[in-house]
């Protein structure tokens, strides 16, 4: 019996890119049972683009939320939950959160569904991604057990076990979900045989790039990252483009939060688990059991 899956896409003013995502999904060899696109107060024509593709596709649904001024990551969770309300009574085994600025090949979901079928403890799955010349695995200090937030597929039992996404205004909602899943005994994995393309570049050149990395460093702190890990991460990123600036921003953001005792939104239990994982991997990297990524 084929695994059934549903998708939810929170979208706010994504008119420039959402058609790439729509084209990718409607071309899939295995279509979702339901795909709910939640327009989070969009004012740029996002809704009209989605409606254009709804005719003849009863599995594609648009939910419209009221306009709002504030933009933060907690709002993304609220939009996702509005979509989840539309699918929670359906029968399905896998639920995916899909951003509206990515694209991928036609067998992308069939490939990931097969992983859920052959790996009973697989709780969260995804793939690496490409953003311009940047590859999320080979050009970063990332672990294959982290699943990138632009496209995360959850086994339904896992999603319910972790209590879904937790609204955190400063970000990290995808990281908290994946790490909590591992803490609860689920396997999480970012597979390398497929990739998706992320079309909205994160960060810009010069001072804006420094501020972007500074904010990433802040996030590393308030999600409970270990200071020793951050030193290695920052040093590693200094050797990557943008040279020096990227790693420096990560370190400044992290240690600014440390100096000001910035409040952490994650539980002590999750922070302890996260730091144990970081130190274990750091030992593996230092002793050469795995290549530095």
At 157, list the tokens: 């039992």
Tokens 């992290």 found at: 254
Note the pLDDT of residue 290. Answer: 43
Note the pLDDT of residue 79. Answer: 96
Is a pLDDT exceeding 70 seen at residue 208?
yes
Of residues 27 and 211, the one with the higher pLDDT is 27
**What are the domain boundaries of the chain?**
5-198, 206-286
3-state secondary structure of 126: strand
Alpha-carbon gap, residue 274 to 281, rounded angstroms: 11
Q: Which of 152-166, 219-233, 235-249 has the highest mean pLDDT?
A: 152-166
The stretch 180-200 carries a mean pLDDT of 96
The stretch 25-29 carries a mean pLDDT of 98
Class in CATH terms, 5-198: alpha beta
Note the pLDDT of residue 241. Answer: 80
Predicted confidence band at 141 (pLDDT cuts at 50, 70, 90)?
Answer: low
Predicted confidence band at 202 (pLDDT cuts at 50, 70, 90)?
Answer: low
List Cα–Cα distances, 103 to 35, 124, 133, 252, in angstroms. 15, 19, 16, 33
Tens digit of each residue's pLDDT (9 = 90 or more) over 49-77 = 999 999 999 999 999 999 876 667 889 99
Give Rg (Cα) of the chain: 19
Note the pLDDT of residue 204. Answer: 41
112-123 in b/e burial notation, b at 16+ Cβ within 10 A? bbebbeeeeebb
Note the pLDDT of residue 211. Answer: 87
Alpha-carbon gap, residue 184 to 136, rounded angstroms: 25
Count of C-beta atoms within a 10 Å radius of residue 58: 8
The stretch 122-145 carries a mean pLDDT of 88
The DSSP bridge partners found for residue 62 are: 37
Predicted confidence band at 293 (pLDDT cuts at 50, 70, 90)?
Answer: very low
């Amino acid at each position: 019996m084929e695994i059934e899956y549903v998708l939810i896409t929170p979208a706010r003013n994504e008119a420039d890119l959402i058609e790439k995502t729509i084209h990718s999904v409607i071309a899939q060899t295995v279509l979702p049972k339901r795909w709910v696109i939640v327009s989070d107060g969009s004012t740029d024509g996002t809704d009209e683009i989605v409606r254009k593709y709804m005719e003849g596709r009863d599995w594609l649904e648009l939910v419209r939320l009221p306009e709002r001024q504030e933009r933060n990551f907690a709002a993304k969770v609220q939009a996702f939950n509005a979509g989840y309300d539309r699918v929670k009574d359906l029968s399905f085994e896998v639920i995916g959160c899909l951003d509206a600025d990515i694209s991928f090949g036609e067998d992308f979901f069939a490939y990931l569904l097969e992983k859920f079928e052959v790996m009973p403890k697989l709780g969260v799955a995804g793939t690496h991604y490409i953003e311009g010349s940047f590859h999320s695995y080979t050009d970063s200090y990332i672990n294959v057990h982290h699943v990138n937030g632009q496209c995360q597929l959850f086994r339904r039992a896992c999603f319910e076990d972790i209590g879904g996404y937790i609204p955190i205004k400063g970000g990290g909602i995808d990281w908290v979900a994946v790490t909590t899943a591992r803490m609860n005994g689920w396997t999480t994995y970012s597979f390398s045989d497929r990739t998706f393309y992320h079309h909205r570049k994160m960060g810009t050149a010069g001072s804006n790039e420094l501020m972007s990395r500074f904010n990433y460093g802040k996030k590393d702190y308030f999600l409970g990252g270990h200071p020793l890990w951050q030193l290695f991460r920052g040093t590693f990123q200094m050797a990557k483009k943008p040279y020096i600036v990227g790693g420096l921003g990560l370190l400044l953001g992290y240690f600014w939060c440390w100096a000001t005792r910035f409040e952490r939104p994650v539980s002590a239990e999750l922070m302890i688990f996260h730091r144990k994982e970081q130190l274990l991997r750091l030992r593996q990297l230092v002793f050469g059991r795995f290549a530095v990524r």
